[in-house]
Amino acid sequence: MMQIATVFAGLLQLSQLLLALLLAPLLTGWINQCRAWLQNRSAPPLLQPYRQLAKLFEKEVVLAHNASSLFRVAPYVIFACMTLAATIVPTLATDLPFGPAADAIALVGIFALARVFIALAGMDVGTAFGSLGARREMLIGFLAEPALLMVFFTASLIAHSTSLSTIVEMFAHRDFFIYPSLAFAGVAFTMVSLAENARVPVDNPTTHLELTMIHEAMILEYSGRHLAFIEWAAALKLYAYSCLGLALFFPWGVAQGGESGLGLGALAVALASLVGKLALGGVVLALIETLNAKLRIFRAPEFLGTAFMLAVLGLLLHMLLGMGK
């Protein structure tokens, strides 16, 4: 019986991995559609990101003559990091084989590793725009990571653990209770997510103006399958942040892996809940991008500084009120 449960947990972890790989481009396509509808434009097809990835995989890779091995390896490392991040976040169930690796602080390290590689790859060829985008990306990272850590510390103090599985189990499978500190942490997490995923108001994923873009400037020299892996990794990062926000602040519907009665019914409810929450989150993100204009680059530190301040306020509020004891 124990072996059957172990095999079932492994299959569930594998299905969570495949779900992340398949749903990430679909989430990007859904957000693009919602944004086009809100802006009264003709919406692109929902499956357009899949078609773009397929087209890029078919194209030949063109490399600069002075590109090093780091430039060639970076897309695979970035894709692996984002795949791991999207896999360890509890989306369908908790207590899965990768559960011990689902540590909040380790997750920040995974995001940081991917950022370092894409920044180094942007500077590797020596183009002006690549170096400019890399410097801006590291500036965003230096400001966003402390705010993200403060958000995780707030949730960890409430759950008395940095394990994402433990945090989700506590928030999802206990009596409903309002934590005022999580309100500040939720706003801060939303602001960090917008910056980390190159969304408006910090960056615009649809722009191609070299003087203002951040993420796109670092990948101008990539083509073919290398560019496909980077674009897929960007979609996985957005999916991971979306699932992370849902796991921390809206964890209801996630199945508890340790339950003996966990079956197909609970997993079906978890899958339907995940798809519904992601669809609603995509609408909210498209609405935020539609109602806001892109900030000038020197205003980005102010934006992320506000996120850090809100996260710290949430942490201090929890400590002062003494909740979660």
pLDDT tens for residues 193-227?
999 999 999 998 777 666 677 888 899 999 999 99
Q: How confident is the model at residue 172 (pLDDT cuts 50, 70, 90)?
A: confident
Confidence of residue 324 (pLDDT cuts 50, 70, 90): very low
Residue-wise pLDDT tens digits, 11-41: 888 999 999 999 999 999 999 999 999 999 9
Using one digit for the tens of pLDDT, what is the confidence trace for 71-114?
Answer: 999 999 999 999 999 999 999 888 788 878 789 999 999 999 99
| CA–CA distance, 93 with 207 (Å, rounded to integer) | 37
Asked if 237 and 272 touch (Cβ cutoff 8 Å), the reply is no
Q: Between helices 180-196 and 300-321, what is the axis angle to 10°?
A: 160
- Considering the entire predicted model, what is its pTM? 0.94
Is the model's pLDDT at 118 over the cut of 60?
yes
DSSP 162: S
Q: What is the mean pLDDT of residues 42-68?
A: 95
Q: How far apart are CA 322 and CA 316, in angstroms?
A: 10
Q: What is the DSSP string of 182-220?
A: HHHHHHHHHHHHHHHTT-TTT--TT---TTT-SHHHHTT
* Backbone torsions φ then ψ of 93, nearest 5 degrees: -155, 165
Give the residue carrying structure tokens 């992601």. 278
- The top-scoring range by mean pLDDT among 172-176, 225-229, 313-317 is 225-229
Measure the CA–CA gap between 285 and 287, rounded to whole angstroms.
5
CA angle 260, 261, 266 (to 5 degrees): 130
Integer-rounded Cα Rg, in Å, for the chain is 20
Tell me the C-alpha distance between 93 and 14, whole Å: 12
**CB proximity list for 278: less than 8 A, separation 6 or greater:** 23, 27, 30, 239, 242, 243, 246
The residues with which 163 forms a beta bridge, in sequence order, are 103
- The identity of residue 78, as a single letter, is I
Beta strands in 206-265 (DSSP E): none
Alpha-helical regions (H) of 39-68: 48-58
Residue 210: predicted pLDDT: 63
